A and B are shown apart, each in its own frame.
Chain A
């Protein structure tokens, strides 16, 4: 084995998390660098393949896929729908919400005051934080969800700044990959 980090890498990836090149966590960045080395990557890919995990190299991030799925299509669809709502919400908050973007919960909460569209979208995020009464709590829940899915990470605890990770590319690629037939596109309102 070329690397001593195999188990560490495995532990992160098997939870459905990402190893991102711009993580604020030094350890994860180190793991990214380890994985980025072509030989190590190939070796680990082969190694994990034996236990039915496929190591994938995305755009600036690594993740696991499985040959046989443990989650059915409905679950996947639900999750994807949730992401579409979330992305829509985040892009309404700031169209430049993208990799490397930094934000704090209070910025979102502040914008809720004068952006009815954003507020409406937050209200429609059905599955996240509905039990919470005030908006700042709900926004926190939304961010918690993003952190849990490993698309953003807390960068600065003092001023509660979060950073968008390279795994956000996964979401973007997913959206880009879905094909809308032209005739359907033409029927949609602007």
Chain B
């Protein structure tokens, strides 16, 4: 594929500006390894030519259905925004070499104008060395911390820290080279140079390198400390896994001295937590205001806990309370007999005509007749004659 570059900075900036939404999203997700082309289409309003344009200018790269920012741009963004993960030491090394070259050119050149150009390049590079060194040190420090805290893989954590430590050595060496260059390698150039700005730049660089070297010492301590911690953690983990293995295979008691060890002393943590069943001091309960408060509190709680709601019956309906008398006239058999005994009539006719104070049917009168005979047969004389009334045959009964 033919790769085109931008014609000028204006075209580049316009292109980046136009797709700022897409680039912003992609930059934000640069760590996730997956940026789907379909999602990118959404961000350019489904105008795929816009994506194609960036790919053509190699700002983006297409990889199957995924899209990523080209390394060149990614590095640029990261470095400018100071979020780069990689510590690039090659640039320091390159800068030192470039200074050396430029010094040689400077010394060889007779044309004052070109000499100045070389000098300008030298100063620019010196400034760059200072900035890059400081930046590398800061990055290194952050990276060491991050690796120790966030790297989940144990072995990789150890390896990464070792590699970061190597980087630290490299930075130290490179800043040493830069100092050596200033102090020893080109005495003629630095001694003879009358340029005030160069002197200032070099002083500043020396301050920066000095600061870096202090930081590097700190980082070294930190790395050693972290590595030690990791080593100890590693040893501990190994031991723990072994004990776990023995425990899970039920051989831990037989194979290790765990029993002896545990019987050696008696920390309370092994014991069941006991509450003390102590009785309260009677003096305390009787005399102390505090005790009384407590009792009141407990009593309130106690009451609240047992809800003794008395069971209430429903109210009695008022009509139950009204006097409700039902009257019934009963036949007083005794009185009937007395009346009968006073007459000379026969019983049946007497009862058939008797005034009972209420209406009594013939059948009932027959029943009364029978009841009287069975109750008072001794006071009556039952004759052997019979008469007939309303189809009822009855014996003639008289008072004795």
Contacts and interface: CB of A to CB of B under 8 A. Distances in A.
Most buried by A among B149, B242, B247, B270: B270
A170 to B, nearest CB: 8
B261 interface: yes
Contacts of A185: 242
Given A73-B262, A81-B247, A175-B239, A66 B257 contact: no
Contacts of A15: 268, 273
Interface string B325-357: 000000000000000000000000000000000
Given A15-B268, A69-B266, A96-B233, A88 B240 contact: yes
Contacts of A91: 237, 240
Interface string B227-253: 000000100110111111111000111
8 contacts: A16-B273, A17-B269, A69-B266, A73-B259, A75-B270, A76-B262, A88-B244, A181-B256
Contacts of B324: none
A81 B269 CA distance: 14
A97 to B, nearest CB: 9
A178 B256 contact: yes
Interface in B277-329: none
A70 to B, nearest CB: 5
B233 A178 contact: no
A38 interface: no
B257 A73 contact: no
Most buried by A among B246, B263, B266, B268: B268
B189 interface: no
Contacts of B387: none
Provide the main secondary structure of the chain B interface.
helix
Interface of B: 149, 152, 154, 233, 236-237, 239-247, 251-253, 255-259, 261-263, 265-273
Contacts of B255: 180-181, 184
A175 B240 contact: yes
Contact of B266 (A66, A176, A179): A66
A149 B253 CA distance: 23
A14 B268 contact: yes
A180 B256 CA distance: 5
A12 to B, nearest CB: 11
Contact of A71 (B149, B244, B259, B270): B270
Contact of B268 (A63, A73, A85, A87): A63
A80 B262 contact: yes
B263 to A, nearest CB: 6
Contacts of A95: 152, 154, 233, 237
Interface in A166-185: 170, 172, 174-181, 184-185
Contact of A77 (B149, B242, B262, B266): B262
Interface string A62-84: 01111111110101110111001
B233 A13 contact: no
A60 interface: no
Given A15-B273, A77-B253, A178-B256, A71 B266 contact: yes
Interface in A133-190: 149-150, 170, 172, 174-181, 184-185, 188-189
Contacts of A53: 268
B286 to A, nearest CB: 24
Contacts of B154: 95
A94 B247 CA distance: 21
Contacts of B233: 95-96, 98
B258 A80 contact: yes
A54 to B, nearest CB: 8
A87 B233 CA distance: 12
A14 B276 CA distance: 11
Most buried by A among B233, B240, B259: B240
A13 B268 contact: yes
B267 A16 contact: yes
A51 to B, nearest CB: 13
Contacts of B273: 15-16
A65 B266 contact: yes
A79 B246 contact: no
Contact of A84 (B247, B259, B269): B247
Contacts of B251: 184
Nearest to B255: A184
| A-B pairs, 8 with minimum CB distance | A16-B268, A69-B266, A16-B269, A66-B266, A76-B262, A64-B268, A71-B270, A184-B255
